[in-house]
């Protein structure tokens, strides 16, 4: 049962910043402890050091969540109480403190390790002769118990909560080497070797690896930090007839603000006055500027290129598109891909298994060789080389980088699962209007029958003045473009599924679909020709009787005045995008509520063989579910309110960014560019991310599969094992960072 279903209560969400996690076992332990609480669903991300928690306050409040994490040995704070700048400052201070400790560790460890290089020369003195044992003890002790205290603290917290993590392995391995060497030194057992250099070097190398890993992980979140920095801090606002500069955070909806050439927009708004072009690359990834004039929408952090714009604020603070993008990217980065669950299950048993292997190694070597020191060194090597960090970082680091790259290219990912599945789709259901087509119907033909073309258009536009239908807007736009004067509309009535009827200047008129009217003078062949070209044909006719508004239905016996053909033109980029998707092995199916002839024409122009016409909104979702039969992974791309059920029914839903809020809410990925080329980029990014995750997991698994047996068989000493362990996590993060080289697929200009 989901948290929100318990007690019928509304669930809340909170994002917590967590300090102290060192490996996948830590994040898995916190997640397990939180999910044991009633009414709580938690996902903990090691790469971002955050927990996304959905909880029911009546069952488990925020105080209980924080206390649970504290009992597990970690520090947590709500993200809402910490600004991005504060969090960056805190992390920077932690890195500086760690760096100071690392310098101390290197300074104390080098005297222990450098003399070991002399062992490469058989004639050189032994290690013990080069550096007195008491001095080795003095140098190794602060490294072990001061600099290495963090590992003891982490191990104690883990064991107290009934789990084990990387800290347990490091603390156990280095303590065994140090304590054995200390006993040998203090007891004066000169015939036995000491391994102070091994314990100190392992701790130093682990700290070095953590420092490199932290730097690399910080780079994975650069994309979202750049988005945060884009929004300007101040705005130039009209107040009481004067222009003043205020904090952008103080703007409220309705405020009039001015944006000069070269400046960034402080909030979302609507242009009131001015003509300019705006660079929206930070939203869509498109470098070409977009023309803006009165009535056009503008967005926060986009750059005004030429003229001055006077705008009215519509979205401020957390309501801007940029804030929504940052919020969505953050949620995606904190989510967990399904492939990560395998790594989590392995991490849960990994450390206990390694401890068991180390114990077996110790007793096996001691029993077979009879030399305890050799057995101890090999057991320590097993403990040190095994680290679940690489497993824990393999997936989340790739997801963090990929979602940041996607946001920069105008691809917003709701969660990691959606990003993972997007590259696996084999069938793509495509909405027609606004997806394949421009989504803005235009009047293409006025065929005069019993009236001139301009007269017919003037009457039709007058009749459509009261209609909100997209076809009505197309007729009105054309009449305005021709400068026609429209007579008064006496009364008006819309008939769903049929058309409209009304009285214009005392004359009863009807305008309806060709299939709904049965007029005797309609040229059927011409209508068929227009429809085959993908155009919707409506007929304007004068009714034989001048009926009143109380008798709105047409007589079906009036005189046809003209045919009006309206088309939603195919996007110039659609045919190439369809061909590219098909080349990627994806079968396309067009779903549309339009009639068969129009659907066939658009499908033919786009290069799509499979199409379904006359489908109602609810039927689109059923069509998607039918396509999913046989375990086929089906994607759906659409932009309208009527596409929302189908988007939700698909395995992966793609919403065109200019579409309705309902469509975007139902989708898994939102494409801010209004054409299918953005979909190609989303699928390419998904496939690149999946490859990177597989590479990371392969490296993490192979590293442990090869490293642990080599250590157990005595082929690796603890120092080399520590270096390998440190490099394993760094290599996984560095491999994920290679996703920063991903670029949008080159698309021909449209």
Name the residues annotated as catalytic.
431
DSSP string, 422-439: HTT-SEEEEEIIIIIB-S
Greatest pairwise CA separation for the chain in angstroms: 121
Q: Does residue 133 contact residue 185 with C-beta atoms inside 8 Å?
A: yes
Collapsed DSSP state (helix, strand, coil) of residue 313: strand
DSSP assignment of 484-552 equals: PPPPPEEEEEEETTTEEEEEETTEEEEEEETTT---TT--HHHHHHHHHTT-EEEEEEE-SS---TTS-
C-beta of residue 34 within 8 angstroms of C-beta of residue 69: yes
Radius of gyration of the chain (CA): 34
Phi, psi of 56 (to 5 degrees): -100, 115
Q: Which two tokens stand for residue 140?
A: 């190794």
Phi, psi of 639 (to 5 degrees): -135, -10
Q: How far is CA 490 from CA 475, 509, 552, in A?
A: 19, 11, 13
**Which residue from 416, 216, 211, 361 is spatially nearest to 713, judged by alpha carbons?**
361
DSSP 264: B
Dist. CA 676–CA 367, nearest whole Å: 68
For residue 209, give the nearest of 105, 283, 69 by alpha carbon: 105
β-bridge mates for residue 290, sequence order? 278
Contacts of 403 (CB under 8 A, 6+ apart): 223, 329, 332, 333, 413, 419
368: burial class by Cβ within 10 Å (0-12, 13-18, 19+)?
exposed
The answer to whether the CB of 485 falls within 8 A of the CB of 455 is no
For tokens 């009639």, name the residue: 595
Token pair listed for 255: 């405020």
Question: At a CB cut-off of 8 Å and minimum separation 6, what does 193 contact?
Answer: 128, 184, 373
Please check whether residue 434 is in contact with residue 664, taking contact to mean a CB–CB distance below 8 angstroms. Answer: no
Nearest-angstrom CA–CA distance, 507 and 529? 30
């Amino acid at each position: 049962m989901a948290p929100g279903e318990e007690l019928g209560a509304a669930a809340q969400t909170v994002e917590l910043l967590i300090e102290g996690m060192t490996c996948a076992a830590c994040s898995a332990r916190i997640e397990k402890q939180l999910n044991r609480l009633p009414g709580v669903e938690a996902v903990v991300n090691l790469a971002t050091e955050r927990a996304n928690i959905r909880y029911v306050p009546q069952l488990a409040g925020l105080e209980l969540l924080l206390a649970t994490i504290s009992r597990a040995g970690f520090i947590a704070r709500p993200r809402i109480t910490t600004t991005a700048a504060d969090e960056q400052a805190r992390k920077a201070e932690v890195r500086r403190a760690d760096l100071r400790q690392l310098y101390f560790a290197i300074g104390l460890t080098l005297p222990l390790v450098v003399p070991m290089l002399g062992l490469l020369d058989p004639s050189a003195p032994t290690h013990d002769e080069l550096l007195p044992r008491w001095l080795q003890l003095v140098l190794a002790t602060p490294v072990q118990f001061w600099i290495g205290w963090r590992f003891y603290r982490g191990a104690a917290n883990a064991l107290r909560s009934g789990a084990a993590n990387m800290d347990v392995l490091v603390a156990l391995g280095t303590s065994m080497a140090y304590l054995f060497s200390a006993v040998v030194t203090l007891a004066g057992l000169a015939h036995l070797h000491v391994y102070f250099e091994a314990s100190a070097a392992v701790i130093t190398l682990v700290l070095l690896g953590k420092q490199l890993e932290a730097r690399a992980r910080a780079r994975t979140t650069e994309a979202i930090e750049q988005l945060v920095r884009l929004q300007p801090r101040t705005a130039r606002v009209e107040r009481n007839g004067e222009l003043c500069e205020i904090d952008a955070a103080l703007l409220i909806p309705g405020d009039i603000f001015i944006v000069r050439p070269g400046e960034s927009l402080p909030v979302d708004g609507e242009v009131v006055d001015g003509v300019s072009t705006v660079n929206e690359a930070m939203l869509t990834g498109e470098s070409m500027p977009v023309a803006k004039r009165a009535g056009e929408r503008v967005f926060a952090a986009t750059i005004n290129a030429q003229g001055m714009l006077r705008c009215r604020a519509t979205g401020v603070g957390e309501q801007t598109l940029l804030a929504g993008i940052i919020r969505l990217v953050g949620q995606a980065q904190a989510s967990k891909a399904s492939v990560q669950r395998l790594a989590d299950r392995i991490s849960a048993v990994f450390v206990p298994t390694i401890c068991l292997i180390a114990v077996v190694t110790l007793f096996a070597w001691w029993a077979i060789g009879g030399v305890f020191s050799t057995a101890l060194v090999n057991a320590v090597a097993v403990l040190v080389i095994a680290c679940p960090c690489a497993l824990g970082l393999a997936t989340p680091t790739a997801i963090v980088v990929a979602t940041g790259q996607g946001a920069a290219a105008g691809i917003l990912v709701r969660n990691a699962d959606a990003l993972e599945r997007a590259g696996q789709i084999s069938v793509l259901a495509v909405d027609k209007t606004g997806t394949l087509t421009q989504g803005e119907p235009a009047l293409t033909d006025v065929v005069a029958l019993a009236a001139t073309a301009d007269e017919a258009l003037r009457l039709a536009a007058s009749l459509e003045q009261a209609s909100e239908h997209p076809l009505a807007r197309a007729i009105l736009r054309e009449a305005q473009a021709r400068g026609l004067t429209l007579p008064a509309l006496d009364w008006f009535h819309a008939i769903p599924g049929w058309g409209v009827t009304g009285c214009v200047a005392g004359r009863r008129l009807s305008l309806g679909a060709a299939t709904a009217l049965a007029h005797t003078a309609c040229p059927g062949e011409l209508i068929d020709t227009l429809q085959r070209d993908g155009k919707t044909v409506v007929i304007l006719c004068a009714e034989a009787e001048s009926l009143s508004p109380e008798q709105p239905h047409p007589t079906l016996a009036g005189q046809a005045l003209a045919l009006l053909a309206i088309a939603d033109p195919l996007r110039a980029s659609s045919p190439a995008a369809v061909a590219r998707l098909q080349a990627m092995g994806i079968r396309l199916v067009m779903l549309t509520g339009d009639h068969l002839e129009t659907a066939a024409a658009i499908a033919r122009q786009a290069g799509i063989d499979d199409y379904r016409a006359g489908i109602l909104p609810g039927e689109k979702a059923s069509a998607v579910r039918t396509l999913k039969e046989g375990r086929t992974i089906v994607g759906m791309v659409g932009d309208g309110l009527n596409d929302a059920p189908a988007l939700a029914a698909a395995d992966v839903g793609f919403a065109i960014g200019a579409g309705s809020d309902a469509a975007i809410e139902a989708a898994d990925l939102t494409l801010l560019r209004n054409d299918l080329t953005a979909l190609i980029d989303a699928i390419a990014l998904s496939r690149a991310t999946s490859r990177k995750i597989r590479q990371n997991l392969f490296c993490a698994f192979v590293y442990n599969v090869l490293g642990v047996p080599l250590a157990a068989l005595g082929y690796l000493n603890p120092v080399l094992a520590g270096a390998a362990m440190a490099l394993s996590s760094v290599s996984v993060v560095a491999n994920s960072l290679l996703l920063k080289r991903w670029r949008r697929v080159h698309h021909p200009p449209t």
